[in-house]
Amino acid sequence: MSAIQPSEKVISLSARRPDRVTAPTGDRTHTRPSTRAISITSGKGGVGKTNIVANLGFELSRAGQRVLILDADLGLGNLDILLGLTPRYNLSHVILGEKRIDDIVVKGPGGMQILPAASGIQELTRLSRDQKIGILYELDRLLDTVDILLIDSAAGISANVLDFSVSAHDTMVVVTPEPTSITDAYALMKVLALKYEEKRCRLIVNQTANDHEGREIFRQLNIVAQKFLDIEVDYFGCIPQDEIMTACVKQQRIATHAFPESQAARGFRNLARKTRALPSQSAVRGDSHLVWHHIFQEELSWK
């Protein structure tokens, strides 16, 4: 596909957004069954974030949850590759106005549904405000029939990444024991707290030697966050270092399915159990499952 250019198709996608979708305020009322939207992100790439999303989604699906995964690494999506899928369409077709978002959904392992991203289209990493709102509106249309939305965010702190991340009710930050990963995780939390006024994030420590190491990394980050940032960090769990993960990536297999008794699989099942036990969140005000104020409020100020 050719690179995305400004076109009437892109404009028409955002124009289909109904005026009745309103930005949330402090007064939140429940207007329809609410899907729990969870963003899984990281400050640094290569920390195993997509693997966590895939295995968590699989375990949640096996537990009876209706799971939809959005590959929000819009320019370098690889969730479909990890799962051995070959989708015909992806989010670039939605952004161009060529497809509606429900046209690109593909079925993944365990019955979870996947919204694949494009790969190698640089323009997708620089979406306009209208394009972001258009995708969120299209995405919101799917969520009446979904229990959990997992957003597999790209790594980093760009607005294109974080605008999708903070549209979720929960933000989970993935970190590894590497010093660069810990430093970048703190940088991500700083932007979430200062620019997006996030008050809480949950920490997942990947590739640990044991749970003690995971809790120690959490302790270090939490001390600094409490001292310098107005954000609460919760320890959500860890995934131990396990050689079966490399084999599963090469074989395009889900670790919890291929090696259910492995240490990594037990870690993923623990994350799924904790996810199911999260307290119910209030539905956002108006007609949306997602939190739109960081993007949508800007548009309201123009009127």
Note the pLDDT tens digit of each residue in 189-202.
999 999 988 999 99
For residue 177, name the pLDDT band (cuts at 50, 70, 90).
very high
Burial of 192 (0-12, 13-18, 19+ CB in 10 A): buried
Distance CA 113, CA 70 (A): 9
Q: Residue 34: its pLDDT value, please?
A: 77
By DSSP bridging, strand 67-72 and strand 113-115 are parallel
Find which of 95-99, 109-113, 143-147 is predicted with most confidence, using mean pLDDT: 109-113
Q: Which of 5-9, 67-71, 174-178, 233-237 has the lowest mean pLDDT?
A: 5-9
- Quickly state the pLDDT bin for 158 (edges 50, 70, 90): confident
Mean of the per-residue pLDDT values of the chain:
83
Up-side HSE of residue 83: CA atoms within 13 Å toward CB? Answer: 28
229: left (phi over 0), alpha (psi -120 to 50) or beta: beta
Q: Which two tokens stand for residue 107?
A: 């079925």
Give residue 166's region: left, alpha or beta (phi > 0; psi -120 to 50): alpha
Q: Distance (Å, rounded) from C-alpha 149 to C-alpha 140?
A: 10
Q: Is 256 exposed, middle or buried (0-12, 13-18, 19+ CB in 10 A)?
A: buried
pLDDT band (50, 70, 90) for residue 282? low
Q: What is the dihedral of CA 275, 277, 278, 282, to 10 degrees?
A: 120
CB count in 10 Å sphere of residue 16: 12
Count CB atoms within 10 A of the CB of residue 133: 21
Cα–Cα distance measured from residue 89 to residue 95, given in angstroms and rounded to the nearest whole number: 11
Q: Which CATH number fits domain 34-280: 3.40.50.10420, 3.40.50.300, 3.30.365.10, 1.10.3470.10?
A: 3.40.50.300
CA–CA distance, 219 with 215 (Å, rounded to integer)? 6
At residue 221, the pLDDT reads 97
Q: Is 286 helix (H, G, I), strand (E, B) or coil?
A: coil
Q: What is the pLDDT of residue 4?
A: 37
* pLDDT of 68 above 50: yes
Half-sphere exposure of 161 (CA within 13 A, CB side): 21
Confidence (pLDDT) at 38: 96
| Region of poorest pLDDT, from 169-178, 236-245, 280-289 | 280-289
Lowest mean pLDDT among 6-20, 76-90, 209-223, 263-277: 6-20
For the whole model, what pTM was predicted? 0.85
The predicted pLDDT at position 247 comes to 94
First to last CA, the chain: 36
Residue 79 in contact with residue 176, Cβ under 8 Å?
A: no
Residue 25: partners with Cβ closer than 8 Å, 6 or more residues away: 285, 293
Q: What is the pLDDT of residue 171?
A: 95
Of 16-30, 100-114, 219-233, 283-297, the range with the lowest mean pLDDT is 16-30
Asked whether the CA dihedral 259, 78, 236, 218 is positive or negative, the reply is positive
